[in-house]
């Protein structure tokens, strides 16, 4: 079941217009993807591993050029060879990587201060204030002097979030923010994502395979499947009520359905030698 959402041009912050992409000429990771992401909302991109959802984020960041179609930000197509356009684009976004991607040679404070030092001329006292406020927003102000090796994985992701919001970006990209976290940390993270989005009026894209957490915080969701296609999109309630077997299997976590449980193999009896092989 497809949603009949219609967005005005001004509402679409990001638009994928019949995008096809592959990391090398032989493979294709995304096939003819069309999707749009509404300004000011939290949109989830869900799917199993290998369906190409992280690739979407990388294309938005302008890391790779698309093979076909275009990725438009605010109506303007991304040209990966235009260094100035990429620079401006990346100044407007903040990305949270799956494991944080913190700079291991810097302290927690220095990590969050990094974008400020690189892109602004603010003096030290201002930088200190901003860093502490960002850390406070994620609840880690007390951890400022710690080194990266001293903090846990969950804390690392929160520091990375503080770093991602250091310059108050309009667009926040989250790559698998819930993976590997305990229920409390997951709840904290989900809460932060929603609160930040609402408080700053930013647009958030959350890539994940955790359906429950995402549905609790997102306004809209896209579901992708293995060959690199979108199989459904809509508001969480619409997707929950979907009849599509692929969507139902994914949302309910059913072990068998359109995505088979068994890896292709000859019949069991044949493997065990009980019947004559052909």
Partner 1 sequence: MEWLAAIGRHVIDVLRSLGHHATFFWELLRTLPASLRRPSFAVAQVHALGNLSLLVILSSGLAVGFVLALQTYYALATYGAADSVGLVVNLSLVRELGPVVTALLFAGRAGTSLTAEIGLMKAGEQLSAMELMAVDPKSRVLAPRFVGGIVAMPILALLFSAIGILGAYVVAVLLIGLDPGNFWSIMESGVDVRRDLGNGIIKSIVFGVICSFVAVYQGFEARPTPEGVARATTRTVVISSLTVLAMDFVLTALMFSTR
Residues that bind partner 1 (CB under 8 A): 61, 63, 86-87, 90-91, 93-95, 97-99, 101-104, 114-115, 118-119
Please report how close the Cβ of residue 52 comes to partner 1 at its closest, in angstroms.
17
| Strands 171-175 and 93-96, bridge-based pairing | parallel
Residue number, 164 or 230, with CB nearest to partner 1 = 164
20: tokens are: 């096809």
Please report how close the Cβ of residue 90 comes to partner 1 at its closest, in angstroms.
4
Q: Please, is 125 exposed, middle or buried when counting C-beta atoms within 10 Å of its C-beta (0-12, 13-18, 19+)?
A: exposed
Residue number, 47 or 115, with CB nearest to partner 1 = 115
| Strands 42-47 and 30-38, bridge-based pairing | unpaired
Residue number, 3 or 200, with CB nearest to partner 1 = 200
Please report how close the Cβ of residue 95 comes to partner 1 at its closest, in angstroms.
5
Residue number, 104 or 136, with CB nearest to partner 1 = 104
Please report how close the Cβ of residue 275 comes to partner 1 at its closest, in angstroms.
42
Q: Which residue has the tokens 């096809």?
A: 20
Question: Which residues lie closer than 8 Å to 102 by C-beta, 6 or more apart?
Answer: 111, 148, 156, 159, 160, 163
Q: Answer whether 33's CB lies under 8 Å from 68's CB.
A: no
Q: Tell me the CA distances in angstroms from 17 to 30, 32, 39, one per residue in order.
A: 12, 8, 17
* 3 state SS of 127: helix
Q: What are the backbone dihedrals phi and psi of residue 215, each rounded to the nearest 5 degrees, phi first?
A: -60, -25
Residue number, 65 or 267, with CB nearest to partner 1 = 65
Please report how close the Cβ of residue 25 comes to partner 1 at its closest, in angstroms.
15
Please report how close the Cβ of residue 244 comes to partner 1 at its closest, in angstroms.
34
Q: Answer whether 21's CB lies under 8 Å from 67's CB.
A: yes
Residue number, 71 or 225, with CB nearest to partner 1 = 71
């Amino acid at each position: 079941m497809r949603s009949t959402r219609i967005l005005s041009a001004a509402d679409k912050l990001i638009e994928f217009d019949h995008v096809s992409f592959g990391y090398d000429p032989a493979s294709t990771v995304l096939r003819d993807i069309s999707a749009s992401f509404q300004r000011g909302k939290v949109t989830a991109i869900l799917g199993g591993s290998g369906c190409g959802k992280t690739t979407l984020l990388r294309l938005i960041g302008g890391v790779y050029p698309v093979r076909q179609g275009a990725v438009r930000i605010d109506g303007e197509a991304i040209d990966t060879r235009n260094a100035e356009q990429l620079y401006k684009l990346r100044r407007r976004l903040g990305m949270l990587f799956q494991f944080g991607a913190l700079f291991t040679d810097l302290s927690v404070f220095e990590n969050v201060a990094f974008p400020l030092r690189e892109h602004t001329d603010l003096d030290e006292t201002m930088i200190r204030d901003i860093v502490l406020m960002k850390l406070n927003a994620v609840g880690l102000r007390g951890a400022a002097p710690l080194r990266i090796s001293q903090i846990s994985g969950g804390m690392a992701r929160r520091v990375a979030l503080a770093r991602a919001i250091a310059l108050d970006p309009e667009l926040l990209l989250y790559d698998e923010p819930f993976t590997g976290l305990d229920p409390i940390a997951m709840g904290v993270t989900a809460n932060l994502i929603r609160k930040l989005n609402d408080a700053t009026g930013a647009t958030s894209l959350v890539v994940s395979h955790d359906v429950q957490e995402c549905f609790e915080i997102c306004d809209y969701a896209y579901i992708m499947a293995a060959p690199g296609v979108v199989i459904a999109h809509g508001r969480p309630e619409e997707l929950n009520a979907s009849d599509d077997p692929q969507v139902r299997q994914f949302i309910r976590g059913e072990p068998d359905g359109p995505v088979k449980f068994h890896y292709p193999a000859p019949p069991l009896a044949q493997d065990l030698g009980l019947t004559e092989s052909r």
